[in-house]
Structure 1
Amino acid sequence: MLADTPARSAVVDLGSNSVRMVVFDGISRNPVSIFNEKAVLRLGRGLTHTGRLNEEGVALAVDVLRRFHAIARGMNADPFEILATAAVRDAANGPEFVASLREIMPDVPIRILSGIEEADHAALGVLCGIPEANGLVADIGGGSLELIRIDSEGRHDANTLPLGVIRLGDRANGDLAAAKAIADAELAGVEWLETMKGRTLYLVGGAFRALARLQIARTSYPLNILHYYTLTPQMAREMTGWLIQSNRRVLERLPGAPRKRLDDVPFAATVLRRLLKRVSPDRIVFCVDGLREGWYALNVAPHLQQEDPLEAMARQMCERFGRSTTLPDALFDWISVIFPDESEYQKRLRKVACWLSDIGSHDHPEYRAEQTFLRILWMQSGGIDHRARAALALALAVRYEGEVDAAWLAPARALLDADTFTWGLTLGLSLRLAYSLCGGTETLLRGTRLERDQDGLCLYLTSARVAVRGDSVRRRLTRLAQIMGQEASVDEASSG
């Protein structure tokens, strides 16, 4: 590899239902995918009855993996590894299949993961994308369902069950009532699930993601992002009931319906419904990061996993799009007086907002507010839920003088409650005022400060900074004070 060629890595997830290769670019806290391709093989179809991999799927797999191998090598991916899961590890001809692949690709490591290893990789993936995750991870594939408990102390009690959507369909002979009974019996055998009652349930795997995609389309949810899509238990029960009862034709009519997954949907919904009954979670969170991202966290960037993924992304965006990497910390301190009673959650988001506050500096001024709003709302980052996306996007749109009644702000209005909307608006207005004073330079911010007391909000300017005052500064100070329910004033005589 040339010295100036960026580091790349690749992993193939060879599952019971599909095979997917992801190529990651560079080494960072947030995995950056530059190639992501899937092929449906159905390797595990019929495995329950024959004990062998589906022959048609085996033939397809060889062709697909030849292509993936060529692409990975052409992109200089190193490491490059193939991970085989339930179908290959359970099939009588699994070792023979892997041996044939090793003949074709002798330089590529091929690992047959145990069910425990598969569960652990899935848990690592969830923690990569949701580092504060605490509860039960359920990763569904074509051949198996992996369950594992995660908390601040690590990953525990991994189990694998033969409840993948293809295998469950085969075991139940396509009958959903039989599938329900099978799922109940399998889940009843996992005794530690009793300790998960009232905890968060994190859902991983393509079949579970298909449920979320259909629910988002059905409900016209304002953000088409699966990662961190969250449901209450009542919403999840209603969703699974609807999916189990709906025929394929109904589901196909929904925009963006995952057509190749529709046959699996009733069985995935059945497993989820039985799991909901077994553990009674407080909420259900969908996670797009799973086995592949877990592999990345373990093999490519283990030293970065202690970083906050959202803060890491904000700093990278600041370095790429902003004008200063020293101003954000100064901004954070300067506006702190506006938020004396903020929670740790709000404090974290405010810090991130300061790092993101100049990323629209090079955009067209007519579209700067909207472009910044969408860039933040849709950014690819872990560690950020949908409410935080909307709050940050709102704040930065307002920082760029976006009007709160603009049509493109509709997702923020839909996703945020009144208090959070006001918080985002206040943050945006405080940043707007700061930039009016400093023009994006830390030097001009020095010698100015805000103070808040029972008499109102006062902007203090030292004699060296009086020149930065003006009508725009006064207007923005007044608007900020109004949203805070206070009177605004300017003190130009202070030497403090």
Structure 2
Amino acid sequence: MSLSAQRSAIVDLGSNSVRLVVFEGVARNPLPIFNEKVTLKLGRGLDATGRLNDEGVTLAMDVLGRFHTVARAMGAEPFEVLATAAVRDASNGPDFVSAIRARMPGVPIRVLEGTEEADYAARGVLCGLPEANGLVADIGGGSLELIHVADGQYYEALTTKLGVIRLQDRAKGSIESAAEIASELLREVNWLPGMTGRPLYLVGGAFRALARLQIARTQYPLNLVHLFTLSEGEAREMSDWVIGASKRTLEKLPNAPRKRLGDAPFAAVVLKCLMERVRPSKVVFSVDGLREGWYMKHVASSVAGDDPMTALAEEMAGRLARSVTLSNALTGWTAPLFRDETPWQRRLRQLACTLSDIGSYDHPEYRAEQTYQRVMHCHGVGFEHAARAFIGLTLAVRYEVAMDASLIEPSRQLLSRSEIDRAVRLGLALRLAYTLCAGTTVLLEECRLLVEDQQLVLILGARSVRAAGSAVRRRFERLAAVMQLECQVREE
């Protein structure tokens, strides 16, 4: 199997559920091509009995046998099973692992220590957010891992017995008791006050359930949990609402995570106690955790230093655009229109230039729509929601979307007026550029834009003069009008 076709697989055997993920290739952004989860509740009753739940153990044997068959049929290598808190703490954990080895011959099975679990969770968050600087909280059924991340690595890390199943058992289902238990355990973590005022990154299925409920409840315009972000106040209000809402109220929400509804109030309790302890600057949900951390460490360590957004943009352009060499020229060509941009704004402009031709092979009537949806919904670990909204709107304008189209409503909701204006300006500039150069660097180098004396100036060289036509004039005038400048064309 070639490197590009290489597949890898991991079974994440947790206290609440077991999941098989098969990744395609070796790339900076993990690409799952198979993802299946089964709820086992292995950790139910663990604190009282000291043993794994018998019903869950029986079900696990059948599920793991299926996962073994699927991963081998897909040619996954490496293929590994990682077991976490429930198996680690249970008296019958070693016997369970022996039974798994018999069911999955030749597959490495590792029971992670708490610090190892935290290590993988930290790597997973850093996979999508290499610039993360704050506290990672990874909640499972049996444990809660807390990790301090900064500068592309992690520092303090520990595990606590604050998984949602274990917390429910210890609190006997009482939210009030759960809050007391969580507060007491978190007070014992002496380095947590040092995280005050930094972002709080939430990982794990029970935390993801909170995000899904909030997205549905608020009719948030983008149904993506990954990098869904709340202010501290919004997160507190959400937590109070989840704790106080009836199960029936939660069930009525569209796309409600029904299997997690019983866990959600206890996850909200843990979140509230964490926020009381660290007062975060914001709360960021991440779908990347242990599994993606394993992938980055064991499969894609060679590309771990690459920027995830740039890597994804270049990969998409390589598959869908006519040229992969034009982006740098476009970034330079559009620069005179954005003299006041911040480093982050320049980065978004550069990414938009890289992705600016990914609709070239789509039907002309649907290029704006398909390109916009492709950017907004692509599986890209590093794309924050506002970044998707800016780049998606830019490319939709580049493909002549109607500005009142319902298609771009998510961008209207997620972006400020000034950001929308920048996206429109860049989209119109890109449309002009492609009209002039037909996607070729040689023709783009024959012309350039300038802003001087309240005028937008288009300077055309000999070949670009011959390539110019009424469409060029029309699109140039539209760009100038949006910028509220007079327009002038010069030949040289």
Q: TM-score, normalised by structure 2?
A: 0.99
1:391-430 mapped onto 2 (5 Å cutoff): 391-430=390-429
Correspondence for 1:332:
331
Q: Does 1:344 align with 2:343?
A: yes
Correspondence for 1:313:
312
Which amino acid letter does the alignment assign opposite residue 487 of structure 1? E
Secondary structure class of the residue paired with 2:274: helix
Which amino acid letter does the alignment assign opposite residue 61 of structure 1? A
Distance 1:486 1:106 in 2: 71
Post-superposition Cα deviations, 1:419-446, rounded to whole Å, max 9, x if no partner, equal: 1111111110110110110111222212
Q: By how many angstroms is 1:469 displaced?
A: 2.1
Distance 2:332 2:29 in 1: 27
Q: By how many angstroms is 1:454 displaced?
A: 2.1
Secondary structure class of the residue paired with 1:203: strand
1:54-133 mapped onto 2 (5 Å cutoff): 54-133=53-132
Q: By how many angstroms is 1:4 displaced?
A: 8.4
Distance 2:73 2:105 in 1: 16
Distance 2:106 2:476 in 1: 64
Which amino acid letter does the alignment assign opposite residue 214 of structure 1? L
Q: By how many angstroms is 1:476 displaced?
A: 1.3
1:194-343 mapped onto 2 (5 Å cutoff): 194-343=193-342
Q: By how many angstroms is 1:452 displaced?
A: 1.2
Distance 1:153 1:76 in 2: 32
Secondary structure class of the residue paired with 1:255: coil
Q: By how many angstroms is 1:153 displaced?
A: 5.6
Secondary structure class of the residue paired with 1:12: strand
Distance 2:201 2:167 in 1: 21
Which amino acid letter does the alignment assign opposite residue 212 of structure 2? R
Distance 2:387 2:481 in 1: 24
Correspondence for 1:136:
135
Which amino acid letter does the alignment assign opposite residue 120 of structure 2? H
Which amino acid letter does the alignment assign opposite residue 379 of structure 2? Q
Which amino acid letter does the alignment assign opposite residue 443 of structure 2? L
Q: By how many angstroms is 1:105 displaced?
A: 2.0
Which amino acid letter does the alignment assign opposite residue 258 of structure 2? R
Distance 2:334 2:72 in 1: 50
Identity %: 58
Contact 2:436 2:464 in 1 (8 A): no
Secondary structure class of the residue paired with 1:335: helix
Distance 2:312 2:97 in 1: 38
Q: By how many angstroms is 1:154 displaced?
A: 1.9
Which amino acid letter does the alignment assign opposite residue 34 of structure 1? I
Distance 2:458 2:132 in 1: 41
Secondary structure class of the residue paired with 1:173: coil
Q: By how many angstroms is 1:6 displaced?
A: 1.5
Q: By how many angstroms is 1:455 displaced?
A: 3.5
Post-superposition Cα deviations, 1:443-479, rounded to whole Å, max 9, x if no partner, equal: 2212111111124110011223211222211121122
RMSD of aligned C-alpha atoms?
Answer: 1.1
Correspondence for 2:460:
461
Number of aligned pairs? 492
Which amino acid letter does the alignment assign opposite residue 266 of structure 2? F
Distance 1:286 1:54 in 2: 30
Correspondence for 2:432:
433
Which amino acid letter does the alignment assign opposite residue 259 of structure 1? R
Distance 2:104 2:219 in 1: 45
1:27-66 mapped onto 2 (5 Å cutoff): 27-66=26-65
Q: By how many angstroms is 1:106 displaced?
A: 2.8
Q: Does 1:388 align with 2:387?
A: yes
Structure 2: gaps of 5 or more residues: none
Secondary structure class of the residue paired with 1:42: coil
Which amino acid letter does the alignment assign opposite residue 112 of structure 1? V
Q: By how many angstroms is 1:101 displaced?
A: 1.1
Distance 1:377 1:101 in 2: 40
Distance 1:463 1:385 in 2: 42
Q: Does 1:442 align with 2:441?
A: yes
Distance 1:154 1:260 in 2: 33
Distance 2:16 2:4 in 1: 34
Correspondence for 1:482:
481
Post-superposition Cα deviations, 1:225-255, rounded to whole Å, max 9, x if no partner, equal: 0010000011000000000001111100000
Q: 1:318 to 1:266 in 2, by over 3 A?
A: same
Distance 2:245 2:3 in 1: 53
Distance 1:229 1:98 in 2: 36
Secondary structure class of the residue paired with 2:146: strand
Distance 1:281 1:167 in 2: 25
Q: By how many angstroms is 1:26 displaced?
A: 0.5
Q: Which moved more, 1:283-292 or 1:363-372?
A: 363-372
Post-superposition Cα deviations, 1:187-236, rounded to whole Å, max 9, x if no partner, equal: 00001000000000000000000000000000000000001000001100
Correspondence for 1:372:
371
Distance 1:3 1:258 in 2: 38
Secondary structure class of the residue paired with 2:211: helix
Q: Does 1:151 align with 2:150?
A: yes
Correspondence for 1:15:
14
Q: By how many angstroms is 1:340 displaced?
A: 1.4
Distance 1:223 1:5 in 2: 31
Q: 1:465 to 1:5 in 2, by over 3 A?
A: closer
Post-superposition Cα deviations, 1:252-307, rounded to whole Å, max 9, x if no partner, equal: 00000010011101100110011111110000000000000000000000011111
Q: Does 1:191 align with 2:198?
A: no
Moved segments of 4+, more than 4 Å: 2-5
Which amino acid letter does the alignment assign opposite residue 180 of structure 1? A
Q: By how many angstroms is 1:161 displaced?
A: 0.6
Which amino acid letter does the alignment assign opposite residue 431 of structure 2? R
Which amino acid letter does the alignment assign opposite residue 313 of structure 1? L
Distance 2:316 2:236 in 1: 39
Which amino acid letter does the alignment assign opposite residue 447 of structure 2? T
Distance 1:319 1:179 in 2: 51
Which amino acid letter does the alignment assign opposite residue 334 of structure 1? W
Contact 2:126 2:153 in 1 (8 A): no
Contact 2:239 2:272 in 1 (8 A): yes
Post-superposition Cα deviations, 1:82-111, rounded to whole Å, max 9, x if no partner, equal: 000000000011111101111222301000
Q: By how many angstroms is 1:5 displaced?
A: 8.2
Which amino acid letter does the alignment assign opposite residue 331 of structure 1? L
Secondary structure class of the residue paired with 1:440: coil
Q: 1:302 to 1:35 in 2, by over 3 A?
A: same
Q: 1:400 to 1:247 in 2, by over 3 A?
A: same
Which amino acid letter does the alignment assign opposite residue 454 of structure 1? D
